[in-house]
Amino acid sequence: MRRAQFKTRLTTTIAAVAVAASAGLFAACGSDTASDEIVVASPQCAHCLSMSLLPDKMPGEQVIYQNFTKLSDLSTGLASGAISVGQIDYTALVSLVSKGLPIVAISGQVNGGSDFVTSAKLGLRENDWPAFQAAVKKAKDDGEPLRIASQFGTVQDIELRLELPMKGIDPNSDVEMTNVPYEGMGQALANDSVDAAIPAQPFAAEIIDQQFGKHFAYPYDQAAGDLTNVVVVSKSYLSEQPDKVKAIARGMGELIPYLKTAEGQKDWISAIKKYTNVPAEAIDQAMPQLSPSVHMPFTQIKAIADAMHAQKLIPEPLTDAQLREHIDYTMLAEATGATSQELGDSR
């Protein structure tokens, strides 16, 4: 019998952002912007939890950290003013921009952490794309295309959809992309519901550690590179509390280099253990794949936006001008001493 299909509700970044947008939440932006307290928020992922260390890098400021399991809750907090600064991924940023919502990216955060894993039953060697292409062709010719688990609308999803054509594979016709949340990818591989998956860390490390799948390749040979996370504020917070936003940018300028040190890595790992139940072994495997960076490379952001439109994740293409309205390099340039161009501005 043909393997059972995975049909999950769309629990992706795009759907979560749509919840916030459809409720008109950003109409209330700025209600709490007079507060001296800076509330930093992020989701619960290996990349994201490094944001819990930001308060220590902002001496003289009243800073607290919150984490969320749902991006819609984080978006609601930003909209209401309950959250001062939030960390999201670039696909969420593009989705917000496409809806015309008043959000501004002020710093990069952590990139990387995407891993394309395959079932051991395929018998593929690492980075053997010709062999993978042959497996794809055979499965398609047999009438049962290879199934790839991907959480639709996430950075990992977009990276793989950009990567596959570069290897001679059409993600829309040569394989069957199946919407599976990161948490379910290991089980999907284990019960043969899918043949491959594109999880984020530390889910990829857990999949490999539990032998549900094998590392095959990192999907970074495409126009978006390894771009993953970005730090955002509402436009009202930027205009009403510029000194606070400058302090946040200075904090990011201190945090990112710290994450690259031995002490910073130790504190980062402690934060992941504090907020998640991820095994220590998986965390250790995931950490070398994460790349802290404040840079916001515009050409890569545009590549993500173009791919999202091509996949019908946003209704209209976004112009350079539309994207630039939602990216501010000035605070970060002042904080780091780098020029906007050095930080990724392509103008």
Mean pLDDT along residues 281-304: 94
Structure confidence by residue, pLDDT tens digits, 42-75? 988 889 999 999 999 999 999 999 988 777 778 7
Confidence of residue 3 (pLDDT cuts 50, 70, 90): very low
> Could you give all domains of the chain from N- to C-terminal order, each with its CATH number?
13-112+228-336 (3.40.190.10), 116-217 (3.40.190.10)
The pLDDT of residue 31: 42
The pLDDT of residue 16: 38
Work out the percent of the chain whose per-residue pLDDT is above 90: 75
Mean pLDDT along residues 75-100: 87
Structure confidence by residue, pLDDT tens digits, 92-111? 999 989 988 899 999 999 99
Count the alpha carbons within 13 Å of 150 in the hemisphere toward its beta carbon. 24
Structure confidence by residue, pLDDT tens digits, 144-183? 999 999 999 899 999 999 999 999 999 999 999 999 999 9
> Among the listed ranges 30-34, 83-87, 198-202, 245-249, which one has the minimum average pLDDT value?
30-34
DSSP 259-294: HTSHHHHHHHHHHHHHH----HHHHHHHGGGEEE--
Task: Check: CB of residue 100 under 8 Å from CB of residue 24.
Answer: no
The pLDDT of residue 244: 95
CA dihedral over 236, 240, 246, 252, signed as positive or negative: negative
The pLDDT of residue 11: 31
The answer, yes or no, to whether residue 304 has pLDDT greater than 70, is: yes
**Cβ neighbours of 27 (radius 10 Å):** 9
Say which amino acid occupies 170: D
The answer, yes or no, to whether residue 257 has pLDDT greater than 60, is: yes
Tokens of 218: 């990192």
Confidence of residue 10 (pLDDT cuts 50, 70, 90): very low
Structure confidence by residue, pLDDT tens digits, 274-287? 998 888 888 998 89
The pLDDT of residue 112: 95
